[in-house]
Amino acid sequence: MTSLSVPPRDASTQPTGRAARPVGRRRDWRMAGEILLFTAPALVIFGLFVVVPIARAVQFSLYRWKGFGPLVDFVGLQNYVSVLSNEVFRGAVGHNLFIVVASILIQLPLGLAIALLLNRRIRGRGLLRTIIFVPYVLAEVIAGVVWFQLLQPGRGVVETLLGTVGLDGPYQGFLGTPELAMPTLMVVLTWKYVGLAVLLFLAGLQGVPDELTEAAQIDGASWWQIQRRVTIPLLGPTIRTWAFLSMIGSLQLFDMVWILTGGGPANATTTMATFLVNEGTKRQNYGIASAASVVLFVIALTMAVLYQRFVLRRDTSGADVLRGVR
Amino acid sequence: MSTTTRVQTSSSELNDPAALRLSGGQSLPPRSRRPKEGSGRRDGGVLVYLAALIVVALTLGPVLYAVLGGFRSNAQLAADPAGLPDPWVLDNYRRVITGSTFWTYAVNSLAIAVITTVVTVVAGLMAAYPLARYQFRWREPLFMVFVVGLLFPATVAIIPLFILVTRDLSMGNTWWGVALPQAAFALPMTIVILRPFLMAIPREMEEAAIMDGASRMQFFWRVLLPLSAPGAITVGVLAFVGSWNAYLLPLLLLRGDMKTLPLGVADFSSQYSSDTAGVFAFTTLAMVPALIFFLAMQKRIVNGLQGAVKG
């Protein structure tokens, strides 16, 4: 707004030259050149490091290839058949889908509650908002290492604290017991990622006009009524955007699992990502790993498209705000 | 239940500055509302603060435990896992700080994150400019290329990326070899966030600049860049933190002295798994830079996201 007072200064040095430039083809070419110039760096980097590798993942998935020698052993869809009939991979798909659903079911109410709490005018609100982001800022690996230590069977602090209230930890630890590994992972993931939900919800809450809540207040609505009838409906678009990000993130989950359990015990926490990294780097089964990555991508794309079509479309229709208030 | 709440709110309404604001307080800067209302509206009271306290304890507990754990000896940790340092042991932190590996990893992390951030922001801003402000036939399809890019998880491409960087480009085990792919995967989000910022700048401003004789380039440098700074900072911070925290790509590409801090933490944790206090010290020192950086930038991130989500 203040920058309105920053007009280009060379207006005086070239009074008429540019304005008089002939309009037409030459200008088109010039514009095309500028577009090319401006978009080239992004397109080259994106093409080289995103598009090409993904295209090659598709290509590799059709070959039996151990990573050395030429790419000659074409096997068609055989890698896909073996990936899709692989118990471990099918388990991994199940785990990923479970994590997608559980993340949303756990983090949505929790994140909403914390965001509404931190949106109230309470003392130390700024500090509280900062604190809730701390786990989210930490690298997944670093958070994972800390939790790994906390959850050490026998000598970790979690079991010690449980012991003070008379509960025994599982013999093989929370991460070492197949039935407990996934719930434990979900607890850690919730701790790590609820901050993102809160961050986005708080940003969305800033967009809720004060006038609306004040009007409701004057009409005698309680705090809870205002949240339920005014604030949360207005957060709709933010919530749906967050759920989308959460979904895509859950499908790609790697770091935390790799650090906490490595996919174990007995493949109880294997995800598609840990499966394909394992196949690719430890066993050099590049064909299998690539097929798994293509399957991962297809699942992610399908879910994204369905979500876009049935959920997010409401937000682009524009009338959503009105519909939310109703 | 409902009657009591209603009574409460209607009684608090009287001394609620929010209601009074309509009459005369409108000219006050918004900040002045906060402390007043903090004392004015206390519906919920103790329960609200109790809930906040629980959230804080659960959130910070593990982090603080790691920080304090670094000040304890392994004997202390074994004897009483839930205790406080007694006495405070500085040796764990001293060993990490005086050792060379931590600093080597930190320099690598910093260099890779800086390269990633610069490349992402520069290339992202440049690409977002025509996508936001030029009229041409391929504009929306071109934008869609990047939007679809949002859906490509780096994990999917990780094996070919590894082969591309190490064999075809011979950039394995280098800063650029990690930074460029990271920038590539950060670009879609960057462009998606920046475009609305550049679009929001009024057309009149551009026309005025052109009238005054500025070329599009000059307009870009003199007007658009300063005005899109909030968005650029947001995406810059996101790219930096993303790169600083990255694990999978560095895991495949970097070895030995080229490793980054997350790799170092993971290594340290598996190599010295019985040295819990040492692991806590190393981990704590590794989390400090990102925490300070992000917390300093937090307000800008929230503002930037708000601008982007509003769309």
Q: Return the SS3 of B71.
A: coil
Q: How would you class A156 by CB atoms within 10 Å of its CB: exposed for 0-12, middle for 13-18, buried for 19 or more?
A: buried
Task: Answer whether B131's CB lies under 8 Å from B195's CB.
Answer: yes
Share of chain B above pLDDT 90, in %: 31
Is A6–B226 a contact, with Cβ atoms under 8 angstroms apart? Answer: yes
Tokens 């994204």, residue located: A304
Nearest to B127 by CA among A46, A32, A42: A42
How many whole angstroms separate alpha carbon B205 and alpha carbon A3?
A: 10
Of A137, A141, A248, the CB nearest to B265: A141
CATH superfamily for B101-264+288-308 is: MetI-like (1.10.3720.10)
Q: Does A138 touch chain B (CB under 8 A)?
A: yes
- The domain limits of chain B are 46-88, 101-264+288-308
Task: For the domain covering A87-313, report its CATH number.
Answer: 1.10.3720.10
pLDDT for A50 equals: 93
Three-state SS sequence of A190-211? HHHHHHHHHHHHHHHHHCCCHH
Is A11–B213 a contact, with Cβ atoms under 8 angstroms apart? Answer: yes
How many whole angstroms separate alpha carbon B257 and alpha carbon A294?
A: 33
- Torsion angle, alpha carbons of A87, A294, A284, A70, to 10: 140
Is B160–A15 a contact, with Cβ atoms under 8 angstroms apart? Answer: no
pLDDT for B91 equals: 86
Is A223–B252 a contact, with Cβ atoms under 8 angstroms apart? Answer: no
Chain A residues within 8 A of B217 when measuring between CB atoms: 34
| AA letter at A139 | A
Output the six-digit token pair for B233: 């900072």
Share of chain A above pLDDT 70, in %: 88
pLDDT for A206 equals: 80
How many whole angstroms separate alpha carbon A23 and alpha carbon A29?
A: 11
pLDDT in tens, A95-135: 999 999 999 999 999 999 998 888 887 887 778 888 888 89
Is the pLDDT at B202 greater than 90? The verdict is no
Pick A190 or A221 by higher pLDDT.
A190
Nearest to B276 by CA among A314, A97, A155, A326: A155
Task: Answer whether B127's CB lies under 8 Å from B191's CB.
Answer: yes
How many whole angstroms separate alpha carbon B23 and alpha carbon A50?
A: 57
Is the pLDDT at B304 greater than 70? The verdict is no
Q: What is the mean pLDDT of residues B279-306?
A: 79
Place A314 in a pLDDT band, splitting at 50, 70 and 90. Answer: low
Q: What is the DSSP letter of B40?
A: H
Lowest mean pLDDT among A275-279, A297-301, B79-83: B79-83
Tell me the count of A-B CB pairs closer than 8 A: 334
Chain B residue closest in CA terms to A35: B130
Place A227 in a pLDDT band, splitting at 50, 70 and 90. Answer: confident
pLDDT for A237 equals: 84
How many whole angstroms separate alpha carbon A170 and alpha carbon B12?
A: 51
Provide the CA A141 distance to its chain's centre, in angstroms.
16
Pick B205 or A295 by higher pLDDT.
A295
Chain B residue closest in CA terms to A244: B151
Is A14–B213 a contact, with Cβ atoms under 8 angstroms apart? Answer: yes
Q: What is the mean pLDDT of residues A49-76?
A: 87
Of A4, A57, A146, the CB nearest to B160: A57
Q: How far is B109 from chain A (nearest CA, A)?
A: 12
DSSP line for B187-232: HHHHHHHHHHHHHTS-HHHHHHHHHTT--HHHHIIIIIHHHTHHHH
What is the greatest pairwise CA distance in chain A? 86
Whether the ω angle into residue B87 lies within 30 degrees of 0, i.e. cis, is yes
Task: Report the predicted TM-score, pTM, of the whole model to 2 decimal places.
Answer: 0.81
Q: Does an H or E element contain B21, and which? A: none
pLDDT for A324 equals: 33
Is B217–A34 a contact, with Cβ atoms under 8 angstroms apart? Answer: yes
Q: How far is A67 from chain B (nearest CA, A)?
A: 8
Q: How far is B162 from chain A (nearest CA, A)?
A: 9
Phi, psi (degrees; rounded to nearest 5) at A271: -115, 170
| CA distance to A42, A94, A270, A275, B186, per residue, from A87 (Å) | 40, 11, 11, 11, 34
Place B25 in a pLDDT band, splitting at 50, 70 and 90. Answer: very low
Is B13–A218 a contact, with Cβ atoms under 8 angstroms apart? Answer: yes
Is A252–B209 a contact, with Cβ atoms under 8 angstroms apart? Answer: no
Task: Answer whether A309's CB lies under 8 Å from A322's CB.
Answer: no
Lowest mean pLDDT among A33-42, B162-171, B209-218: B209-218
Q: What is the mean pLDDT of residues A167-174?
A: 82
Q: How far is B75 from chain A (nearest CA, A)?
A: 11
Which stretches within chain B are classed as H helix? 2-14, 17-20, 33-40, 46-69, 74-79, 91-98, 101-133, 139-149, 158-163, 175-199, 203-211, 216-219, 225-227, 229-245, 248-253, 261-271, 276-310
Q: How far is A211 from chain B (nearest CA, A)?
A: 9
Please provide the average confidence, as pLDDT, over all residues in chain B.
80
Is the pLDDT at B9 greater than 70? The verdict is no
Output the six-digit token pair for A276: 């394909």
pLDDT in tens, B154-193: 888 888 999 899 888 989 899 999 999 999 999 998 998 8
B29: left (phi over 0), alpha (psi -120 to 50) or beta: beta
| AA letter at A77 | L
Phi, psi (degrees; rounded to nearest 5) at A155: -115, 5
Pick A174 or B38 by higher pLDDT.
A174
How many whole angstroms separate alpha carbon A191 and alpha carbon A133?
A: 10
Chain A residues within 8 A of B80 when measuring between CB atoms: 160
Chain A residue closest in CA terms to B83: A157
Is B187–A281 a contact, with Cβ atoms under 8 angstroms apart? Answer: no
Is A191–B305 a contact, with Cβ atoms under 8 angstroms apart? Answer: no
Is A38–B127 a contact, with Cβ atoms under 8 angstroms apart? Answer: yes
